[in-house]
Amino acid sequence: MSKKLKIGIFGFGVVGQGLHDIIRGQDLNLEIIKIAIKNPDKKRSLDAGLFTTDHDEILNNPEINTIVELIDDADAAFAIAKKALTSGKHVVSANKKMIANHLAELVELQAKYGASLLYEGAVCGSIPIIRNLEEYYDNELLHGISGIFNGSSNYILSKIFNENMPYDVALKQAQELGFAETDPIMDVGGYDPKFKLAIATAHAYGLFIDPDKILNVGIQNLSEQDIQYAREKNYKIKLVPTARKISTKQVITYVLPKFVKADDFLFNVENEYNGVTVQAAFADKQFFFGKGAGGHPTGAAVLSDIAALRYGYRYEYKKFHQQNGLIHTDNVNIEVYLRYTHEYTVEKLKIENIVERFSRNDFKYVIGSVSLKSLLANKDLLVQKDVFIAHTGRFTYTDKQIEVIAGEEALVH
């Protein structure tokens, strides 16, 4: 028997309206009591009595047992979620920045007050990746999780590679369609997929990682030369967040543009679609594909969480509670393509084992090995307009790193 949910919604933008469209006309054993909005003067299709600008009118209403948080402001979203959970109200959220930055505290609040926080809609839109990591892979050894987590940047890259559209034109089109914000840096700079990666890593490996400790470099400095290089090699460039287990005890995370080959699942993920690849020890490689942006796809994920609450569902954070001894590290070397102008860029990043180098007046690049630690320490260098970096897909370990990994393996066996 399902429990009736009496819902207070915060935010009635694209996702909020998409959610309402899906709920309307269905018998789901739930009732929307009140919707909090910012602008009371905006003309809306629903009864004006349903709306309020007073957050406490919802949070202090004893009749409301479930809060659906769909606003952009991460700080305000956290205040709403915290007060709701502390009051014993369940929360459904799609705010990836808020969740990624406060996940450890939010998990404690759920345990202390017996409420549940669900956030499938915060990661990859319509793809049910969190529920799968939490339930299907709960006893799996995961080698890695990666993919396309941001529909805006993927739309731009699709237009560039499939239609020869200039970056600026593709970005403007993405903004006009509502995929990218007026200030698009959250998407094209790799911040949005970084927050999503932090959340996914909590469920995949039981690690609550401070997003500031995850490298994110985006596509905003992509040039014609980089595009031409990729085309000559029959690659596409995709913005790919990655969490990967590199030894028995170490997990790395980063968000970087990546050269993607034609045999990669991600090669044909286009426009606003997202794709997630999970590499597991026993289930092997599995791929999830779906729309990552838009009111109805994200609204469908939010509704899935709401529906699950009717039956008392909650995340158990099984891998976190297993205390499996995993640690987050930046002690790994990856192979990268680096376009640059000044030689000191290569020197400061400590690019080693260079396997390819090209230099002319208007275009210089190297392909070589660099430590994730060095990239994190020099992120200010990586976002300068004359620099573009992309992962080739290869990992290159130093002798010392190999010794550490071999030592861990020996202890296990």
CB 287 within 8 A of CB 7: no
Structural domain contains residue 413: no
Cα separation of 376 and 371, whole Å? 9
27 shares its domain with 78: yes
Report DSSP letters for 377-412, one per residue. Answer: HTHHHHTSTT-EEEEEEEE---HHHHHHHHHHHHHH
CB-based contacts of 160, cutoff 8 Å, min separation 6:
166, 167, 170, 222, 227
| Per-residue model confidence (pLDDT) at position 36 | 96
Looking at residue 45, which CATH number applies to its domain? 3.40.50.720
| Other Cβ atoms within 10 Å of 403 Cβ, number | 11
Q: What is the per-residue pLDDT across 212-234, written as a single tens digit (0 to 9) for each?
A: 999 999 999 999 999 999 999 99
Residue ending a domain, choose from 118, 153, 182? 118
In 229-332, at which residue ranges do the beta strands (DSSP E only) sit?
236-245, 250-260, 273-280, 284-291, 327-328
Nearest in space to 139 (alpha carbons), one of 282, 247, 312, 313: 282
CB-based contacts of 45, cutoff 8 Å, min separation 6:
none
| Per-residue model confidence (pLDDT) at position 402 | 63
| Per-residue model confidence (pLDDT) at position 413 | 47
Structural domain contains residue 369: yes
Helix (H) or strand (E) holding 261: none
286 shares its domain with 180: yes
DSSP annotation of 250: E
Structural domain contains residue 318: no
335 shares its domain with 251: yes
User: Could you list the residue range(s) of the whole structural domain that residue 98 is in?
Assistant: 5-118
Structural domain contains residue 124: no
Helix (H) or strand (E) holding 8: strand 5-10
For residue 89 the two structure tokens come to: 């109200």
CB-based contacts of 105, cutoff 8 Å, min separation 6:
82
How many structural domains is the chain composed of?
2
Residue ending a domain, choose from 118, 144, 172? 118
Q: What is the largest CA-CA distance in the chain?
A: 71
Report DSSP letters for 124-156, one per residue. Answer: STT--HHHIIIIITTT--EEEEEEE--HHHHHH
pLDDT in tens, the chain (413 residues): 578 999 999 999 989 999 999 998 788 889 999 999 998 888 888 888 999 999 999 999 999 999 999 999 999 999 999 999 999 999 999 999 999 999 999 999 999 999 999 999 999 988 999 999 999 998 888 999 999 999 999 999 999 999 999 999 999 999 998 888 888 999 999 999 999 999 999 999 999 999 999 999 999 999 999 999 999 999 999 999 999 999 989 999 999 999 999 999 999 999 999 999 999 988 899 999 999 877 888 999 999 999 999 999 999 999 999 888 999 999 999 999 999 999 999 999 999 999 999 999 999 999 999 999 999 999 999 999 999 999 999 998 766 666 666 566 555 54
Look up tokens 């600008």; give the residue: 53
145 shares its domain with 39: no
> How many CA atoms lie less than 13 Å away from 124 in the CB half-sphere?
26
Structural domain contains residue 192: yes
150 shares its domain with 265: yes
Cα separation of 366 and 336, whole Å? 8
Nearest in space to 327 (alpha carbons), one of 404, 248, 216: 248
Q: What is the per-residue pLDDT across 75-121, written as a single tens digit (0 to 9) for each?
A: 999 999 999 999 999 999 999 999 999 999 999 999 999 999 999 99
Residue ending a domain, choose from 118, 151, 185? 118
DSSP annotation of 53: S
CB 160 within 8 A of CB 227: yes
Cα separation of 133 and 114, whole Å? 22
Per DSSP, the three-state class of 229 is: helix
Structural domain contains residue 241: yes
102 shares its domain with 40: yes
Look up tokens 């290569």; give the residue: 346
Enzyme catalytic residues: 196
Task: Return phi, psi of residue 389, to 5°.
Answer: -130, 140
Name 306's bridge partners.
none
91 shares its domain with 223: no
| Per-residue model confidence (pLDDT) at position 143 | 95
40 shares its domain with 134: no
Per DSSP, the three-state class of 317 is: coil
Cα separation of 108 and 114, whole Å? 10
Per DSSP, the three-state class of 227 is: helix
pTM: 0.94
Structural domain contains residue 380: yes
367 shares its domain with 218: yes
Q: What is the per-residue pLDDT across 372-388, written as a single tens digit (0 to 9) for each?
A: 999 999 999 999 999 99
Name 360's bridge partners.
363
Looking at residue 276, which CATH number applies to its domain? 3.30.360.10
Structural domain contains residue 317: no
User: One-letter amino acid identity for 143?
Assistant: H
In 14-54, at which residue ranges do the beta strands (DSSP E only) sit?
30-36, 51-52
Nearest in space to 130 (alpha carbons), one of 140, 141, 120: 120
Look up tokens 């994200």; give the residue: 298
102 shares its domain with 141: no
262 shares its domain with 137: yes
230 shares its domain with 170: yes
